[in-house]
């Protein structure tokens, strides 16, 4: 019984609402994973930055 609620809590904590650190706009979890840092924090989104700027700021990040 309690196992289900624990599982829900883990899900919630691993998929928090993500907001742009710069403009506080809501961003998708997927977007945060792609453009965010290791903590899925995004310091510039499509609302306040252009895509090529985001890519330049991504330097040093490796997925594999």
Distance of CA 62 to the CA centre of its chain: 16
Distance CA 47, CA 36 (A): 15
Distance CA 8, CA 20 (A): 25
Q: How far is the CB of 16 from Zn ion (least distance, A)?
A: 17
Q: How far is the CB of 12 from Zn ion (least distance, A)?
A: 23
**Residues 23, 29, 31, 34: which binds Zn ion (CB under 5 A)?**
23
Task: Work out whether 22 is an interface residue with Zn ion (CB under 5 A).
Answer: yes
Task: Work out whether 32 is an interface residue with Zn ion (CB under 5 A).
Answer: no
Task: Work out whether 45 is an interface residue with Zn ion (CB under 5 A).
Answer: yes
Contact 42, 21 (CB under 8 A): yes
Task: Work out whether 20 is an interface residue with Zn ion (CB under 5 A).
Answer: yes
């Amino acid at each position: 019984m309690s196992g289900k609620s624990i599982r829900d809590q883990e899900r919630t904590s691993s998929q928090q609402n993500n907001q742009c650190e710069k403009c506080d706009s809501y961003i998708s979890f997927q977007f945060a994973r792609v453009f965010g840092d290791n903590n899925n924090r995004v310091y510039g989104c499509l609302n306040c930055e252009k895509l090529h700027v985001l890519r330049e700021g991504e330097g040093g990040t490796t997925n594999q």
